[in-house]
A and B are shown apart, each in its own frame.
Chain A
Amino acid sequence: MAIRTEPITINLGPQHPSTHGVFRLRVKFDGELVLDIEPVFGYLHRGTEKLAEERTYVQIVTLTDRLDYVSSMTNNLAYVSAVEKLAGIPVPERAKYLRVICSELQRIASHMIATGFLLQELGAFATPLMYAFRERERILDLFEMLCGARVTLSYMRPGGVTQDAPREFWPALDILMRDMPMYIDELDQLISGNEIVLARTQNAGIIRPEAAINGSLSGPILRASGVKWDLRKANPYEVYDRMEFDVPIGSRGDTYDRYYIRILEMRESVKIIKQCIQQIPEGPTRTPGPFFIRPPVGDAYASVEAPKGELGFYLVSDGGISPYRCKIRAPSLINLSLLREMLVGWKMADMIIIFGSTDIVLGEVDR
């Protein structure tokens, strides 16, 4: 006599250790097999876009720190580039280089977190995470030198950066850039060849390139599928057109590629920072301007290659001191658009790591 079975619906979250924050997945299981998923988000909704409508253009910089709270620098950069485009504010050369250095440091820090937490979800409890966090700690120390904060940075301003780097920043950056390739090699050696990692991640959660483009994915997830699309090359902002670096792409688009592309990108970031240190000119770091910027009536969209993908800000000005509308194109939210395609058909344990490899931050998903 056959045992009568029926699918069971299980809640993952909103406070599940694997969900990178307050993310909730309603999953229908047949045994261990995922039949269907339904993501539920909005638990961290703070109304950033609405709040931006009643703040001045400089004050919104502090709101952008809280979007993707592990990569505040690139959030700041995306927002201030939109304001500069809208109001036509020039940026001094030195500030541009400082911005590139900061956003590449932030990319390394963010990818360290992504790698560490992916391994945490694989069951490698804490060891790779502690390695990743130790290197990230040194980057946060550099940020503390620059702007006095470690996570909520608010370093960039429309027209440059708040202040020039202190004297002790440059030797510290040199030492870190000397050590960083060694750190990345170490992380690579610790994880990449590990047979358990390979068995769990290879050929899991494959995204085909056509599907990735249709789902408008961006960032490392898109490049892991083999699509060569990087805003730093496709639409060079700041001084990326003067830098020499490669855009690593994956071949299969599975979880392992999504992990390994981040290791490769960290190496490219180190290259970019080393070139910046050599090229950076002397000079002012901020265009003097009013606190209450009144851009002309119009709209502007600016986007940067954030660690998670394309982060864009669309600002509409009605000529006042605060934007009429502020729309944020958050990469974490849009990278979730193929979640059902990635997760359905896998076992529960695979589902956790495939979901982890998208590297979302809930502050940015819910805004």
Chain B
Amino acid sequence: MYGLGLFKGLAVTLKNAVTPGRMFTTHQYPNRRISVFELAKASSTNVISYAAKNPAKAVRSAIGLEWVPDRWPQHPRFRGEEFTWYEQRCTGCASCAKYCPLGIIRIVTDPSGRFVQEGEKYAIEVFDIDIGRCMFCGLCVEACPYDALHMGSGFEEGRYTRSGLVIDVNRLRTQPKRPSNWFRPQLEAKDYNPHSGKEATYVDVGRHEKPSEQKQEVKWAKRL
């Protein structure tokens, strides 16, 4: 029968319109509408007592005017924008700068020219990452031999100026440390999730433990 194919197609549309698991859902960003049931659950009461306590909010949520900030969760391996850096682990070897395909990492260590002994490390003066040009391939993170540099977990780095997109050493020192699990099996083994809000200490992120004083002495003794 001519026209049967059209009805077959419409049947698919109808099936998707009524099956709850197959419905098209729009997830609003960055805020999501919240129902009165969820509001009551959030304040750990039932709906009726919540509505009696704050009627204005209940009415607003019933007509869809109450919003809560909500994000679709990313995987812990998500390669996020802000980089996480652990100064205690960084030796200033500049492997990350060397491996970067775009050359956007700038590192300046100890311009005084002091001779650094084994076991000591360079002081980092400048560590600029220009994420305005970064493509988040993660090669710098892959290159880091001491697990000092990690991908971040966020993705909201909107700025009004290009210079604001340069992550400098002060920001790397002070920002919350939520490293991504990307290329860090030690974090995955600990089931670390950067989106849970917990920060990772520099001990958590490392494959290598810093050698103790005694071990250093033994190492020097063997060398001499």
Contacts of A162 in B (CB 8 A): 142, 183
A89 interface contact, C-beta 8 A: no
B74 interface contact, C-beta 8 A: yes
Contacts of B11 in A (CB 8 A): 189
Q: Is the CB of A194 within 8 A of B6?
A: yes
Q: Give the CA-CA distance A282 to B32 in the complex, in Å.
A: 42
Contact of A190 among B9, B79, B181 (CB under 8 A): B9
Contacts of B185 in A (CB 8 A): 163
B-side interface size class: 20 to 34
Q: Which of B131-139, B158-166, B199-207 contacts A (4 or more CB under 8 A)?
A: B131-139
B84 interface contact, C-beta 8 A: no
Contacts of A152 in B (CB 8 A): 135-137
B42 interface contact, C-beta 8 A: no
Q: Which residues in chain B, 84-104, are within 8 Å of chain A measured between CB atoms?
A: 99, 101
Q: Is the CB of B74 within 8 A of A144?
A: yes
Residue of B nearest to A182 (CB): B22
How far, in Å, is A95 (CB) from chain B's closest CB?
Answer: 15
Scan B138-151; emit 1 where CB is below 8 A from any A CB, else 0: 11001100000001
Contact of B78 among A148, A163, A196, A197 (CB under 8 A): A148
B4 interface contact, C-beta 8 A: yes
Q: Is the CB of B143 within 8 A of A291?
A: yes
Contacts of B4 in A (CB 8 A): 193
Q: Is the CB of B101 within 8 A of A55?
A: yes
Q: Which residues in chain B, 63-95, are within 8 Å of chain A measured between CB atoms?
A: 74-75, 77-79
Contact of A198 among B5, B8, B24 (CB under 8 A): B5
Q: Give the CA-CA distance A130 to B23 in the complex, in Å.
A: 11
Tell me the B residues contacting A by CB distance below 8 Å.
2-6, 8-9, 11-13, 15-16, 24, 74-75, 77-79, 99, 101, 135-139, 142-143, 151, 180-183, 185, 188
Q: A144-B74, A148-B151 are in contact. Are A190 and B12 (CB under 8 A)?
A: yes
Contacts of B181 in A (CB 8 A): 148
How far, in Å, is A84 (CB) from chain B's closest CB?
Answer: 18
5 A-B pairs in the complex with CB atoms less than 8 angstroms apart:
A61-B137, A145-B75, A163-B185, A193-B4, A195-B5
Apart from A148-B138, A186-B16: 14 A-B pairs, beta carbons within 8 A: A58-B139, A59-B139, A131-B16, A148-B151, A149-B78, A149-B79, A162-B183, A163-B185, A186-B12, A190-B8, A190-B12, A195-B3, A195-B6, A291-B99
Q: Give the CA-CA distance A145 to B74 in the complex, in Å.
A: 9
User: Which of A62, A146, A148 is the most central at the interface, judged by chain B CB atoms within 10 Å of its CB?
Assistant: A148
How far, in Å, is B64 (CB) from chain A's closest CB?
Answer: 23
How far, in Å, is B22 (CB) from chain A's closest CB?
Answer: 9
Scan A147-173; emit 1 where CB is below 8 A from any B CB, else 0: 111001010000000110010000000
Tell me the A residues contacting B by CB distance below 8 Å.
55, 58-59, 61-63, 127, 130-131, 134, 141, 144-149, 152, 154, 162-163, 166, 186, 189-198, 291
Q: Is the CB of B5 within 8 A of A194?
A: yes
Q: Is the CB of B9 within 8 A of A144?
A: no
* 4 closest cross-chain pairs (CB), A and B: A193-B5, A148-B79, A59-B101, A148-B77
Q: Give the CA-CA distance A55 to B100 in the complex, in Å.
A: 10
Q: Give the CA-CA distance A148 to B5 in the complex, in Å.
A: 41
Q: Give the CA-CA distance A197 to B9 in the complex, in Å.
A: 11
Q: Is the CB of A62 within 8 A of B99?
A: no
Contacts of A147 in B (CB 8 A): 77, 79, 182
Q: Is the CB of A127 within 8 A of B13?
A: yes
Contacts of A58 in B (CB 8 A): 99, 139
Q: Is the CB of A196 within 8 A of B79?
A: no
Residue of A nearest to B15 (CB): A186
Q: Is the CB of A144 within 8 A of B99?
A: no
Q: Give the CA-CA distance A61 to B139 in the complex, in Å.
A: 10
Contacts of A148 in B (CB 8 A): 75, 77-79, 138, 151, 180-182
Q: Give the CA-CA distance A61 to B135 in the complex, in Å.
A: 12
Q: A130-B24, A162-B142 are in contact. Are A62 and B13 (CB under 8 A)?
A: no
How far, in Å, is A303 (CB) from chain B's closest CB?
Answer: 24
Contacts of B13 in A (CB 8 A): 127, 190
Q: Give the CA-CA distance A144 to B79 in the complex, in Å.
A: 9
Q: Is the CB of A189 within 8 A of B9?
A: yes
Q: Is the CB of A62 within 8 A of B142?
A: no
Q: Give the CA-CA distance A130 to B25 in the complex, in Å.
A: 11
How far, in Å, is A326 (CB) from chain B's closest CB?
Answer: 14
